[in-house]
Amino acid sequence: MFKKESNHYRWKEFFELISKTKPKVGLFIIACIISSASAIATTFIPNFVKTFIDSFSTSGNLNGNILLLLGAFFIFGTLTSAIASYLLNVVGLNVVANLRGITWSKIVKLPANFYDKNKSGDIASRVVNDTTVIFNLVSHSFSQFVNAILTILFCSFWLFYYDWQLALVILIAIPLFLLFFVPLGRVLAKLSKRLQRSTARLNVNAFEMISEIKLVKSFTAENAQIKKGMENIKNLKDIGMKQATWMALVNPILNLIMMLMIITIVGYGGIKLARGDLSPGTFIAFLTLIFYVIPPISNFGTFFTQLQKTKGATERISQLLNEDEENLSEGKFLHVNDQDIELKNISFHYSTQEDLTFSLQDINLKIAGGETYALVGPSGSGKTTLIALLERFYQPTNGAIYMGGENIESFSLSSWRSQIGYVSQEHTLVSGTIRENIIFGLEGDPPSEKKIVKACKMAYAWEFVRKLPNGLDTDIGERGLNLSGGQRQRIAIARMFLKDPKIILLDEATANLDSQSEKEVHAAMQKITKNRTAIVIAHRLSTVMNSDHIIFMEDGKITGQGKHDELRETHELYRKFCKQQLESNQEQTDSEETKQLQIQ
């Protein structure tokens, strides 16, 4: 899970987060000045209206100069408002783009164990939804708040200038507004946090459901998924209803205060107008200014609501950015020259395991450089975990791994992983074309067409790739789902061949290939593993027998090491493994012979 949320949020954290995005402060200041000029210019319009009306009532003539000034100020206020709005959007978009870039970079650099403990939908929500909340504050709400303050200040000046007694009525109303806004803000802050968490949960469930839709349909779990989704949607609605309830309770009180204020001003002002204490123009200007003041005061509620949302979004993004990340460049550069790899007293358990049971226990193993090792054992014996430690996805709980006598932690992650070719049992592909997947992760100039085709041929993928509509540039869909399992696996193997690594880690790399393809890929693998350090997880006897050394694992421990013939004689479980494989191979051979006879 993410690091614990702070109960004492400070707005300093918000400004620290914004400063990381390197905002265009100069442009923001200019936009605020232009916006302020627009707000100030607008407050002069009622004064021109007053002068125009009073001039007409005394002389009976229309004053063209005042009309021109009125029109000029109106146009000026409109244009400056539009320019300020555009500039603030530029600033906001720059902030949110940089913030998303920072969070995206952070996500890429977070260690594997972070993803074991946190859900991808929640992480994505922080990158997309929470950054949008901050954008809305910077681009819209903040400028509106600044304009509201300036409008109230300048309108207050004119109101007191016209009639201080009437102005006092408005001055008394403002603290009454704040009296309701402060407690409302606290309530909305809690509801905003709950809303953002619920939104993240909905994202998580939606992501899981969409990515595993075939599983849902296979187990006819549509109704269960609909129920689960509707519960999340109902929870979001309930929180929204609570927000609406609080606003519904407070808004009538605020409206009542405003109505009382307007009635008082109209009534008292009307009396003063009848007495001759106020001119008609002053009275109209005063009423106009009141309607200038009311919207900003009313919008304070919206601003404080957005402020509380931003507070929650800032906390969630800050939590993500405060997570410890991998330092890819720290350490020495690694030059692999068939050095031995040695695991000394290695024990490991995953941080997600509540019982802290070790997945690996007291592993001591020496892997000779330039030779091939096969990891064999039942499911859950720790083979994949051992590969993950060698890839440095995780650090051992106890013990250390050495290469050439040096702890591999002393080498930079980037240089270590750049020497490794890794093909997992999931044969993971990304959205895009076959070409993009094969050259995935390669830096510098892209490899030539010839090299890519050669890698495909080595992985026996070219036969089906060249028949596709666009060849290497064929789009394979999300996670390569437009290809079969075997095809995805061959693309993953071709990617490893193109990387031309010094150390090869294969985790069930040929699991989804038919017998003929498996033989062909094995032949290619024997070529690439020649004179390289290779560690292969395999359940097929053909793969195991071609290895220089065999390591048998059970319950996180190494229980046997040696050659095929040696282990078959001395290790009971390995002997059973060989027997099962021979029987399985015989069944497969019989099945293929039957198919051939049927064809003939």
Residue 459 carries which side chain, given as an amino acid letter? Answer: A
Is 593 within 8 Å of 586 (Cβ atoms)?
A: no
Beta-carbon contacts of residue 396 (< 8 Å; ≥ 6 apart): 346, 347, 348, 360, 389
Backbone angle region of 329, left / alpha / beta, with phi > 0 → left and psi within -120 to 50 → alpha: alpha
* DSSP class per residue in 441-487: T--SSPPPHHHHHHHHHHTT-HHHHTTSTTGGG-B--GGGTTS-HHH
The radius of gyration of the chain from alpha carbons, rounded to an integer in Å, stands at 35
Beta-carbon contacts of residue 58 (< 8 Å; ≥ 6 apart): none
Residue with tokens 């319950």: 555
Beta-carbon contacts of residue 290 (< 8 Å; ≥ 6 apart): 159, 170, 261, 262, 265
Backbone angle region of 505, left / alpha / beta, with phi > 0 → left and psi within -120 to 50 → alpha: beta
Active-site position among 508, 518, 566, 569: 508
Pairs from 182-189 (Cβ < 8 Å, separation ≥ 24): 184/246, 184/247, 184/250, 184/301, 184/304, 185/304, 185/305, 185/307, 185/308, 187/246, 188/243, 188/246, 188/304, 188/305, 188/308, 189/308, 189/311, 189/312
Distance CA 556, CA 347 (A): 9
Instruction: Please confirm, yes or no, whether 508 is among the known catalytic residues.
Output: yes
Buried b (16+ CB within 10 A) or exposed e, 440-460: beeeeeebeeeebbbbbbbbb
HSE at residue 465, side-chain half, CA atoms within 13 A, is 25
Distance CA 532, CA 592 (A): 34
Distance CA 387, CA 369 (A): 16
Helix (H) or strand (E) holding 559: strand 557-562
On the 0-12 / 13-18 / 19+ scale of CB atoms within 10 A, 259 is exposed
Count CB atoms within 10 A of the CB of residue 594. Answer: 10
Query: Two tokens at 235?
Result: 């929870």
423 bridge partner residues: 506
| Residue among 146, 124, 145, 130 nearest 95 (CA) | 130
403 bridge partner residues: 341, 406
Distance CA 47, CA 158 (A): 8
Is 553 within 8 Å of 358 (Cβ atoms)?
A: no
Residue 114 Cα distances to 10, 196, 342, 560, angstroms? 26, 21, 27, 33
Distance CA 300, CA 217 (A): 49
Residues with catalytic function:
508
